[in-house]
C-alpha cells in the first residue's frame, strides 16, 4: 500500500507510511463519531420500552464520557498524522525537488522556463500539501469507514442496507468517470497560469525597455488578455468539475428516500421493527453528509493528477552521474572531434571541433557571434554533454566524472553575472565557503574590487540588493572575478569576463590574471582582440567549426578570419562622430 501511495502522490518512503497512518486515523475517528449514534439508539429504545431513564443515568453519563474521550483521542491522532506529517512531507518534497534540479544537466533546463519550474516547486507542491492534509486521508478513510459500516448493516438487515448504500457506488462511479474531463480542464488552466506568470515576470524584467520604447500600454493590453484567459479557464475548470460532483451528490439524496420507502414497506409488512427502522434513518443521516464531502475530495484528487505528473516529471528525469574519484594527470583539456547540437538535428552548434588547452597556457576562443565559443566552455565544464567525440582533462574522460566533482576543478566567470541579496563579503565567499575574511578581501583586491568597496556605506558588509542592483555592471563583474580568485581552481574559464570593464580596470584584471594562471589551464572567451593579445593559443570558431588556430602572430601572418576580425575591430575603435560627419 505504501508503494501505491508513493507512486500515485509523489511521496517519499516516510511520507507514504505517514499517509497510511493518517488514513487509519481517519477511519478510527469516523468510527468514534458513530459511537454517539449507538448511544442515541439505546436511549431511544429505552424510551420506547418505558424504561425509567434515571435507573440508567450512570450508564448514559459514562457512555457520553467514553464517546467524548474516543472522539478527542482519535481527533488528536488524526490531526497529528494528517497535518503535522503532511507539512513535514511538504518540506521534504520541496527539498528533494531542489536537490534533484541541482543534479540535472542543463539540457533539462533548456526545455523548461523559469515560471514552469517555479510553479512546480511552489504551486504544485502547495497543492500536494493541501491534498495531503485535507483530501487524500479523508477520502480513503471515509471509503474504508463506509465499507465497514455497510458490511455491518448487511449483517443487521441486508435489504435495508442495500436500500441505504446503493447510491454510494454509483455516485463514486460518476465522479471517477469525470477524471479525463477534469484533467483536460486542469491542464488548460495550469498552462494559462504558467503563461501569465511568465508574462508578468517578463514585464517586470523588461519594464525599462518598454518605457523607453513607449510600448508599456501595448504590453499591458496583452497581459490583460492573459489574465482574462486565466479567469475563463478557471471558471471552466470549476464548472466542468461541479457538473459531475453536484450530480453525484444529488443522487446520494435518493438514498434517504429509498431508506424511508423500503423501511416503511417492511415495517408495514412486519419484517422490520420500529427500532431497526429508526436505526437505519440515523445511519443514513450520518452516512450521506460525509459522503458528499468525500465526492468533493475524489474530484479534487482526480484534478491533482496534473500536479503529480509535473512533480514526477522532475523526479524521474535522468541525472548526470559519474565517479567522485578524479585524479587526472595534469589539467590539460583536449577536445577530440567534438560535435554537439542543442536538440536540433539539422543545426549543429559544434561539428568536429578539436584543439588542446594546455596547462599553464592561455587558450583564447574567438570568432563571430554564434560560432560556438560559449558552447565549448559549457561542454568543457560538462554543463552539457557532447554528442560525438571526447573531451578529456588530464587524460580523463569528463563523462565519467561526477559533475560536482568536475566543477571543483573549475573557476568560472560568466558573461552574465549572478549575485545574491547579501553582503559583498558573502557574495565573494561563494567561491570558497570556508574562506576567512582576510582571504575574501585579498581575492577582492586581486580582482580590483577593493577600490569601489571602500566607497560603500559598510564596506564589505554592505548588502548589495537583489542580483547586485546597487552596483554597476563592472562592479558586479569584478565581484564575480573575485570569486574565481578565491576558489583558486586549477582550471579557469572566463566567458567575456572583462566585457563590462573600462580599459583601466581591464588592464588591472589582466595583470592579476597573469599572477593567477601560473601552472593553470586558462580558457578565455572574448570578442575584444586586445583581451587575448598575449594568449598562447587562439582557436577561431566559425559556424561551429575550428576555422584556424595558432599563436596570435601565426594567425596574423595567415591573413585569415582572425586577421580580418582584428582589422575590423581596429577600424571600429578609430570611428568617431567626426568621421561620420566627414562621410556625409
Residue ranges making up the domain that contains 561: 331-409+521-574
CA distance 358 to 366: 17
Is residue 370 a part of any domain in this protein? yes
Same-domain status, 102 and 223: yes
Residue 112: C-alpha distances to residues 116, 305, 436 (Å): 6, 20, 38
Is residue 562 a part of any domain in this protein? yes
Which of 14-23, 94-103, 202-211 is predicted least confidently? Answer: 202-211
Helices (H), 271-330: 274-315
Same-domain status, 165 and 295: yes
User: Per the structure, how many domains does the chain have?
Assistant: 2
Same-domain status, 294 and 381: no
- Residue 116 and residue 195 in contact, taking contact as beta carbons nearer than 8 Å: no
Quickly state the pLDDT bin for 389 (edges 50, 70, 90): very high
Same-domain status, 242 and 390: no
Query: Which of 315, 346, 372 lies at the terminal end of a domain, its last residue?
Result: 315
How much is the pLDDT for 391?
Answer: 94
Same-domain status, 215 and 98: yes
- For residue 225, pLDDT over 60 is answered with yes
Q: What sign for the dihedral angle of Cα 406, 408, 409, 410? A: positive
Is 47 or 472 the better-scoring residue by pLDDT? 472
Is residue 100 a part of any domain in this protein? yes
For cell 438487515, what's the residue? 157
Quickly state the pLDDT bin for 516 (edges 50, 70, 90): low
How much is the pLDDT for 583?
Answer: 46
CA distance 64 to 70: 10
The distance of Cα 361 from the centroid of its chain, to the nearest Å, equals: 40
For 111, the grid coordinates are 526545455
CA distance 139 to 161: 21
Quickly state the pLDDT bin for 46 (edges 50, 70, 90): low
Number of other CB atoms surrounding residue 3 within 10 Å? 9
Same-domain status, 185 and 298: yes
How much is the pLDDT for 390?
Answer: 93
- Residue 485 and residue 493 in contact, taking contact as beta carbons nearer than 8 Å: no
Q: What is the largest CA-CA distance in the chain?
A: 120
CATH number of the CATH domain containing 360: 3.40.50.300
For 39, the grid coordinates are 448511544
Instruction: Tell me the pLDDT tens digit for each residue of 48-103.
Output: 666 665 667 777 788 888 888 888 998 888 888 888 888 888 888 888 888 888 88
Identify which of 205-214, 287-296, 463-472, 544-553 has the greatest average pLDDT. Answer: 544-553
Same-domain status, 310 and 343: no
Q: What sign for the dihedral angle of Cα 502, 505, 511, 512? A: negative
Going by C-beta distance under 8 Å and a sequence separation of 6 or more, which residues neighbour residue 4?
none
Same-domain status, 221 and 366: no
Quickly state the pLDDT bin for 176 (edges 50, 70, 90): confident
Helix (H, G, I), strand (E, B) or coil at 396: strand
Report the Cα–Cα distance between both ends of the chain, in Å, rounded.
Answer: 82
- Residue 327 and residue 408 in contact, taking contact as beta carbons nearer than 8 Å: no
Query: Which of 315, 346, 365 lies at the terminal end of a domain, its last residue?
Result: 315
The distance of Cα 431 from the centroid of its chain, to the nearest Å, equals: 25
Same-domain status, 280 and 392: no
Is residue 12 a part of any domain in this protein? yes
Half-sphere exposure of 199 (CA within 13 A, CB side): 19
Is residue 298 a part of any domain in this protein? yes
Beta bridge partners of 523: 363, 493
For 302, the grid coordinates are 482526480
How much is the pLDDT for 539?
Answer: 92
How much is the pLDDT for 573?
Answer: 59
Helix (H, G, I), strand (E, B) or coil at 548: strand
Number of other CB atoms surrounding residue 484 within 10 Å? 24
Quickly state the pLDDT bin for 464 (edges 50, 70, 90): confident
Residue 173: C-alpha distances to residues 138, 165, 169 (Å): 18, 14, 6
CA distance 521 to 362: 7
Is residue 487 a part of any domain in this protein? no
- Residue 365 and residue 373 in contact, taking contact as beta carbons nearer than 8 Å: yes
Same-domain status, 188 and 220: yes
For cell 429508526, what's the residue? 278
How much is the pLDDT for 49?
Answer: 66
Give the chain's mean pLDDT: 83
Instruction: Provide Rg for the chain, Cα atoms.
Output: 35
Same-domain status, 356 and 267: no
How much is the pLDDT for 344?
Answer: 60
CA distance 439 to 272: 90
CA distance 500 to 522: 20
8-state DSSP, 401? B
Query: Which of 315, 339, 355 lies at the terminal end of a domain, its last residue?
Result: 315
Is residue 132 a part of any domain in this protein? yes
For 565, the grid coordinates are 576580425
Mean local confidence (pLDDT), 262-272: 82
Quickly state the pLDDT bin for 396 (edges 50, 70, 90): very high
Quickly state the pLDDT bin for 575 (edges 50, 70, 90): low
Instruction: Tell me the pLDDT tens digit for each residue of 340-388.
Output: 988 665 578 888 999 999 998 889 998 888 888 888 988 998 888 888 9
Q: At what angle do helices 136-165 and 167-176 cross, to 10 degrees?
A: 140
Going by C-beta distance under 8 Å and a sequence separation of 6 or more, which residues neighbour residue 511?
none
Instruction: Tell me the pLDDT tens digit for each residue of 304-349.
Output: 888 888 888 888 888 888 888 888 888 999 999 999 988 665 578 8
DSSP 474-543: HHHHHHHHHHHHHH--SEEEEESTTTTS-HHHHHHHHHHHHHHTTTSEEEEE-S-GGGGTT-SEEEEEET
Is residue 446 a part of any domain in this protein? no
For 66, the grid coordinates are 467514553
Same-domain status, 227 and 376: no
Number of other CB atoms surrounding residue 171 within 10 Å? 26
Mean local confidence (pLDDT), 460-482: 83
Amino acid at each position: 500500500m505504501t508503494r501505491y501511495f508513493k507512486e500515485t502522490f509523489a511521496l517519499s518512503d516516510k511520507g507514504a507510511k505517514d499517509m497510511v497512518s493518517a488514513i487509519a486515523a481517519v477511519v478510527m475517528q469516523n468510527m468514534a463519531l458513530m459511537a454517539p449514534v449507538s448511544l442515541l439508539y439505546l436511549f431511544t429504545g429505552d424510551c420506547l420500552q418505558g424504561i425509567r431513564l434515571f435507573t440508567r443515568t450512570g450508564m448514559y453519563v459514562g457512555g457520553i464520557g467514553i464517546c467524548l474521550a474516543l472522539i478527542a483521542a482519535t481527533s488528536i491522532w488524526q490531526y497529528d498524522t494528517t497535518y503535522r506529517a503532511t507539512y513535514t512531507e511538504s518540506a521534504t518534497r520541496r527539498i528533494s525537488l531542489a536537490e534533484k534540479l541541482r543534479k540535472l544537466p542543463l539540457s533539462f533546463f533548456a526545455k523548461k522556463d523559469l515560471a514552469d519550474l517555479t510553479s512546480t516547486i511552489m504551486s504544485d507542491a502547495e497543492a500536494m500539501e493541501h491534498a495531503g492534509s485535507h483530501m487524500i486521508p479523508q477520502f480513503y478513510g471515509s471509503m474504508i469507514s463506509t465499507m465497514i459500516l455497510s458490511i455491518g448493516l448487511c449483517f443487521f438487515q441486508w435489504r435495508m442496507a442495500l436500500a441505504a448504500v446503493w447510491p454510494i457506488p454509483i455516485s463514486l462511479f460518476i465522479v471517477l468517470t469525470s477524471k479525463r474531463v477534469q484533467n483536460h480542464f486542469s491542464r488548460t488552466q495550469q498552462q494559462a497560469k504558467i503563461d501569465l506568470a511568465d508574462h508578468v515576470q517578463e514585464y517586470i524584467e523588461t519594464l525599462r525597455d518598454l518605457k523607453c520604447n513607449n510600448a508599456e500600454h501595448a504590453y499591458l493590453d496583452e497581459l490583460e488578455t492573459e489574465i482574462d484567459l486565466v479567469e475563463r479557464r478557471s471558471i471552466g475548470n470549476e464548472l466542468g468539475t461541479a457538473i459531475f460532483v453536484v450530480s453525484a451528490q444529488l443522487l446520494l439524496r435518493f438514498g434517504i428516500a429509498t431508506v424511508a420507502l423500503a423501511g416503511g414497506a417492511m415495517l408495514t409488512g412486519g419484517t422490520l421493527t420500529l427500532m431497526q427502522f429508526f436505526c437505519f434513518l440515523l445511519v443514513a443521516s450520518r452516512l450521506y453528509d460525509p459522503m458528499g464531502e468525500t465526492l468533493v475530495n475524489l474530484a479534487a484528487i482526480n484534478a491533482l493528477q496534473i500536479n503529480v505528473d509535473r512533480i514526477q516529471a522532475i523526479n524521474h528525469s535522468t541525472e548526470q552521474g559519474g565517479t567522485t574519484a578524479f585524479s587526472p594527470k595534469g589539467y590539460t583539456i583536449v577536445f577530440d572531434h567534438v560535435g554537439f547540437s542543442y536538440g536540433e538535428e539539422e543545426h549543429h552548434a559544434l561539428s568536429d571541433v578539436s584543439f588542446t588547452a594546455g596547462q599553464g597556457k592561455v587558450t583564447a576562443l574567438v570568432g563571430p557571434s554564434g560560432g560556438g565559443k560559449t558552447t565549448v566552455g559549457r561542454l568543457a565544464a560538462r554543463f552539457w554533454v557532447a554528442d560525438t567525440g571526447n573531451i578529456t582533462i588530464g587524460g580523463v574522460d569528463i563523462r565519467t566524472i561526477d559533475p560536482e566533482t568536475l566543477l571543483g576543478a573549475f573557476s568560472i566567470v560568466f558573461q552574465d553575472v549572478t549575485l545574491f541579496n547579501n553582503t559583498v563579503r558573502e557574495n565573494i565567499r561563494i567561491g570558497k565557503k570556508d574562506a576567512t575574511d582576510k582571504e575574501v578581501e585579498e581575492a577582492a583586491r586581486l580582482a580590483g574590487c577593493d577600490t569601489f568597496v571602500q566607497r560603500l556605506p559598510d564596506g564589505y558588509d554592505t548588502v548589495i540588493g537583489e542580483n547586485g542592483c546597487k552596483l554597476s555592471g563592472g562592479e558586479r563583474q569584478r565581484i564575480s572575478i573575485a570569486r574565481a580568485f578565491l576558489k583558486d581552481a586549477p582550471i579557469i574559464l572566463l566567458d567575456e569576463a572583462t566585457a563590462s570593464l573600462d580599459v583601466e580596470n581591464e588592464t588591472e584584471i589582466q595583470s592579476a590574471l597573469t599572477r593567477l594562471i601560473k601552472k593553470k589551464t586558462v580558457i578565455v572567451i572574448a570578442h575584444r582582440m586586445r583581451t587575448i593579445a598575449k594568449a598562447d593559443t587562439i582557436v577561431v570558431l566559425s559556424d561551429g567549426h575550428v576555422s584556424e588556430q595558432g599563436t596570435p602572430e601565426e594567425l596574423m601572418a595567415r591573413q585569415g578570419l582572425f586577421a580580418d576580425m582584428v582589422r575590423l575591430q581596429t577600424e571600429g575603435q578609430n570611428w568617431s562622430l567626426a568621421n561620420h560627419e566627414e562621410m556625409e
